[in-house]
Structure 1
């Protein structure tokens, strides 16, 4: 006998009959629940049948029209250069990616989306995980690539935390598709631990190449995989010395060199006579010999994307006689020698700069640049300035007819400060009504960045804007509202003028 029950009260021990009765009660309850489940299953089946008979308006569209809608949706995810603005192939959350977002709506949409290769051929992978990627990532990529049909591939693998591991892991999957590569962005840290040379001579459609390395001073392997690329026109090299990669330099029309030494970069530019667009962020290595100056007869656009570096150290090696667009992003206060270097470039090149793009925190370099480009017709400002600095610029344009005298278009696509509505209205009025036979300021677009609140302009200011718009001035003053979910965001522009 169990010692624990040895001294138990006999009245507390259930009898055989009570246990049998309780077992019967439990069995009846279970049977009732099974019966209820059967009734619910039958009801669910009838509801599903009724839903299947409903023809939703969106599903009544012909497949070709739905396909066109899907294509337009995907086009909205692309920037001006055709690159994806968001990672549609997110290695942790692929269910939130562009085409998968469509395929999760219903079976009909999934069937259409899976059979549209144009939804799957642009892959921008990203991962912010602390742990290195695993084999599941390659399986996911293989599945994705299998849906691309015969379309050209746009592959971007430069946005992840474990860039070198990711490229090494995923390269075997994308290598077999190299005859269809159109765009490729990847990291090639040293040493290169995967057989990249297997694609040599097998990239007939590659048009754009973005290759990055973390440490430019590390001894690197010579890269010859891209030496035979008949369609290659645009190349970006980040911290990868140009002399360590073999490319068809003479056929390039667009080149970005970031973090290169001045001497090495200028030497390579002697091999690129057909460049149309050039972007430089160079540094001077101690003890390097000065290079031979170069004349690039076809360059129309020069970009200096990171003015932390002293571009006065290398601009005097360049002559650009056909330069028409100058893009400078100033991340530090202007230095006299930098301003002088820009002016010398313009004068020695005898170029006519018609479009200027300025950006950065400090307005002095931008204002100095604008003062040098009196032939500029289009100005774009990516300016993180104080409102007072913007006001001074608008007042200067309004009151000084010799400052940007040929200005026709003024863009501020990502304004981060308060909007000086009154100064804008006065500037537009002065450059529209008081110009006589001179060129007028015809277009003004300002988009306020998301998350910023502005006051509504006074009624008198709105009246000025309305009068200018009625007379033909293209005015757009808008704010952008950001909607964020997972890795995606979209901008909805709302006109401030219509709110008054």
Structure 2
């Protein structure tokens, strides 16, 4: 073999050996860098007070970072934001299942959310879920609906919120299930329906939702501006405890275990209200009436719910119905016998109509009697802007001040110079 060839082989052998040594040194360097990262992480853990907290407390802190679920959450919102801080925070966020139990899905959905949603629910594992479906144009995102309803057995809170849209005002059925056959929502305890105009509300399958949720405890329906056609008297729901709606329909369904009913600031159909109480005989503990019915209706309803503990009502100053109610507090000791809290909202009499002194006398006497005999906590509220006809006379003002000194009586915004909260 010639000398040049020998020299070439030697150089090649030398290169192979050097490459081998470089590989060894790279492995050593890689090991040293890894060791350094571990040491730095351990040092940071010593210096970082958050890292020294028990995992249960750290997880709870993370959960409290979720103030209100963002619509279609992104990388800059909790909990996704917590995944981008450091390795330990990422691990903690992924292991904190409660971070992933709540989500607000706004339609139409982005591609990113469609990919994220299955992963999101997977991180929640077997925890109960709270889901808000907003904007109601479900037909374009059937794959998103599939993901949601595939986890329907885990839903404990469901909110359906629709932005008003003239296009959807026609009473066409709103398909919240995307054409699939709905399965029972056995874990659902709270149903919220809001932001819908008349056509949308009528077309929403509310009764069907109630039938699918046999363990529902609370139902809130924002229908203060439109009639609510809530008319299936054959449906008896055995678990619903709290129903808050706008205007009631001709016949409410039977709710024999209802504990709280709130009908704020709406007209109440007297006959429908009595019929509902008679049919359901609910163990009502809390009743809110925005516009008081006729006194005979109210009295009959109150006698049908003897276990009532909280009663809130709006009265027009000087009205005959209000006078009869306060007089009944004096003359009927068995009325509202178990009441613990009475909240009275007074609003102005019509301009030009005078309010008799007897109204204020009866009002003060009724409140005093109820507070003294039954130890009821009474709260009285009144608009600050008083018209001339609704201003209490001087003796009534004195009576108000005396009432304010009674234990259990709280008067707020009754007159401009008396502000007791």
TM-score bin, normalised by smaller chain: 0.5 to 0.7
Question: Displacement, 1:121?
Answer: 1.0
* 1:243 is the counterpart of 2:231: yes
- Name the residue aligned to 1:277: 260
Q: How many residues are paired up?
A: 337
TM-score by length of 1: 0.53
* 1:255 is the counterpart of 2:234: no
Residues 398-446 of structure 1: CA distance to partner in whole angstroms, max 9, x if unpaired? 8525x684418x698xx9xx998xx86xxxxxxxxxxxxxxxxxxxxx6
Q: 1:148 to 1:293 in 2, by over 3 A?
A: closer
- Name the residue aligned to 2:118: 142
- Name the residue aligned to 1:70: 59
Q: Distance in 1 between matches of 2:192 and 2:268?
A: 23
Q: Distance in 2 between matches of 1:106 and 1:396?
A: 65
- Name the residue aligned to 1:435: none
Q: Distance in 2 between matches of 1:116 and 1:91?
A: 20
Matches for 1:8-87 after TM superposition, within 5 Å:
52=41, 54-55=44-45, 56-58=47-49, 60-61=51-52, 65-72=54-61, 74=63, 86-87=67-68
- Name the residue aligned to 1:108: 88
- Name the residue aligned to 2:102: 122
- Name the residue aligned to 2:341: 355
- Name the residue aligned to 1:234: 218
Task: Determine which of 164, 186, 207 is the counterpart of 1:204.
Answer: 186
Question: Displacement, 1:247?
Answer: 5.5
- Name the residue aligned to 1:34: none
Q: Is the 8 A contact 1:199 1:225 kept in 2?
A: no
Q: Is the 8 A contact 2:221 2:244 kept in 1?
A: yes
TM-score by length of 2: 0.61
Q: 1:200 to 1:109 in 2, by over 3 A?
A: same
Q: Is the 8 A contact 2:251 2:272 kept in 1?
A: no
User: Alignment partner of 1:400: what SS?
Assistant: helix
Question: Displacement, 1:112?
Answer: 0.4
Question: Displacement, 1:242?
Answer: 1.9
User: Alignment partner of 1:183: what SS?
Assistant: strand
Q: Is the 8 A contact 1:378 1:407 kept in 2?
A: yes
Q: Distance in 2 between matches of 1:168 and 1:138?
A: 12
Question: Displacement, 1:370?
Answer: 5.5
Q: 1:352 to 1:121 in 2, by over 3 A?
A: same
Matches for 1:83-482 after TM superposition, within 5 Å:
86-91=67-72, 95-97=76-78, 99-123=79-103, 125=104, 133-157=109-133, 160=134, 162=135, 164-165=136-137, 169=141, 170-187=144-161, 190-195=172-177, 198=180, 200-212=182-194, 213-215=196-198, 220=203, 222=205, 223-239=207-223, 240-243=228-231, 248-261=236-249, 263-265=250-252, 268=253, 271-281=254-264, 282-283=266-267, 292=275, 294-295=277-278, 296=281, 298-304=283-289, 307=290, 309=291, 311-312=293-294, 315=298, 318-319=301-302, 320-328=305-313, 334=317, 336-337=319-320, 339-340=322-323, 343=326, 349-357=335-343, 373-374=370-371, 375=374, 377-379=376-378, 385=384, 399-400=401-402, 405-407=406-408
Q: 1:70 to 1:353 in 2, by over 3 A?
A: same
Gaps of at least 5 residues in structure 1 are 1-44, 78-85, 425-445, 447-500
Q: 1:277 to 1:197 in 2, by over 3 A?
A: farther
Q: Distance in 1 between matches of 2:152 and 2:402?
A: 56
User: Alignment partner of 2:275: what SS?
Assistant: coil
Going by fraction, where is strand more abundant, 1 or 2? Answer: 1
Gaps of at least 5 residues in structure 2 are 1-32, 163-167, 350-354, 386-390
Question: Displacement, 1:198?
Answer: 4.9
User: Alignment partner of 2:188: what SS?
Assistant: coil
Q: CA RMSD in A?
A: 4.9
Going by fraction, where is helix more abundant, 1 or 2? Answer: 2
Q: Distance in 2 between matches of 1:258 and 1:177?
A: 30
User: Alignment partner of 2:63: what SS?
Assistant: helix
Q: 1:371 to 1:236 in 2, by over 3 A?
A: farther
